[in-house]
Amino acid sequence: MTPALKNLSGLLIDLDGTVYVGDEPVAGAVEVIDFLRSRNIPFRLTTNTTTRSLSSLHGKLVSMGLPVEPHEIFSVIRAAVAYLRSKGKPSCYLLLTEDPRGDFADFPQSDEQPECVVVGDIGKYWDYELVNRVFRMVLQGADLVALHKGRYWQTESGLQVDIGAFVAGLEYVTGKEAVVIGKPSRSFFQLALEDLNLPAGQVAMVGDDIASDVGGAQQAGMHGILVRSGKYREELVAHSPVKPELTIDSIGDLVGLL
CA distance 146 to 212: 14
pTM: predicted TM-score of the whole model, two decimal places:
0.86
103 in the same domain as 24? no
Which residue segment(s) compose the domain that 29 sits in? 3-48+183-256
Domain count of the fold of the chain? 2
Which residues on neighbouring strands pair with residue 152, listed in sequence order? 161
Tens of pLDDT along the chain (258 residues) come to: 566 577 799 999 999 999 998 889 999 999 999 999 999 999 999 999 999 999 999 999 999 999 999 999 999 999 999 999 999 999 999 999 999 999 999 999 999 999 999 999 998 899 999 999 999 999 999 999 999 988 877 666 777 888 999 999 999 999 999 999 999 999 999 999 999 999 999 999 999 999 999 999 999 999 999 999 988 999 989 999 999 999 999 999 998 888
Asked if residue 192 lies in contact with residue 44, where contact means CB atoms within 8 angstroms, the answer is yes
Residue 59 counted as domain residue: no
CB atoms within 10 A of CB 9: 14
Residue 157 counted as domain residue: yes
Query: What is the three-class DSSP state of 24?
Result: strand
199 in the same domain as 242? yes
Of residues 115, 76, 85, 117, the one with CA closest to residue 212: 76
3-state DSSP: the chain helix, strand, coil percent, rounded to 5?
40, 20, 40
Q: What is the pLDDT of residue 167?
A: 96
Asked if residue 203 lies in contact with residue 10, where contact means CB atoms within 8 angstroms, the answer is yes
Q: How far is CA 253 from CA 24, 161, 184, 246, 250, in A?
A: 18, 29, 24, 11, 6
- Out of 148, 180, 212, a domain closes at 180
Q: What is the pLDDT of residue 4?
A: 59
Q: What is the pLDDT of residue 231?
A: 86
**141 Cβ neighbours under 8 A, 6+ residues apart:** 113, 115
Residue 80 counted as domain residue: no
Asked if residue 94 lies in contact with residue 125, where contact means CB atoms within 8 angstroms, the answer is no
217 in the same domain as 200? yes
Q: What is the pLDDT of residue 123?
A: 87
Give the CATH number of the domain where residue 116 resides: 3.40.50.1000
CB atoms within 10 A of CB 140: 10
